[in-house]
Structure formats: C-alpha cells, structure tokens
Amino acid sequence: MNPMQKMRMMLARGILNLVSSATGLQIMQIDLLADETRDDVERVQNYGHSGHPPKGSTVAAVAIGGSRDHMVVVACE
C-alpha cells in the first residue's frame, strides 16, 4: 500500500457491535467498510468519564500508522 492509500485509510467511521469493560479498558467490535469487522479495538476515553455505548452507536476510529490491523476508537455517539 502506498503512502497516499495509507493516509486515506487512516480515519474511519463505523458502527459498534459489541463492547466489553472486563479488562479495565473498553474493548469494542466495530464494523467499518463493507465486510470489514474489527475485533479488540480499544476505545480512548477522557479521564474521569466513562460510559457503555449501546450497540449500533456510531464510532470514529483511527488506524495507528495507517494499519487497519491496529485501530483505536476516539469518539462514540
């Protein structure tokens, strides 16, 4: 994948399927592009704020280093 493709794939909007807080971090399963489901995606939350968003919520995710194998959810509505 060339650098421009990596930049285009760096940000994604998706839908929340599952969320777990069992490990102390919120870990999510999200659907992004057609037929692209990502498991074990960490959700970054502000200090002192926590919530458990419902299934079907919209998420904004960032691909660390442009790799879709390492996604982090930075916002959830």
pLDDT given at position 58: 97
Choose among 36, 49, 42, 45: nearest CA to 64: 42
In this predicted structure, what is the pLDDT of residue 24? Answer: 81
Measured in whole angstroms, the distance separating CA 10 from the mean position of its chain's CA atoms is 11
- Tell me the H-state helices in 1-77: 3-8
pLDDT score of 72: 96
pLDDT in the model for residue 70: 92
SS3 state at 49: coil
φ/ψ bin of 24: left (φ > 0), alpha (ψ from -120 to 50), beta (otherwise) = left
pLDDT at 8: 82
Please tell me the predicted confidence (pLDDT) of residue 46: 79
Residues of the chain with pLDDT under 50: none
pLDDT of res. 68: 87
Integer Cα distance of 58 and 28 in angstroms? 12
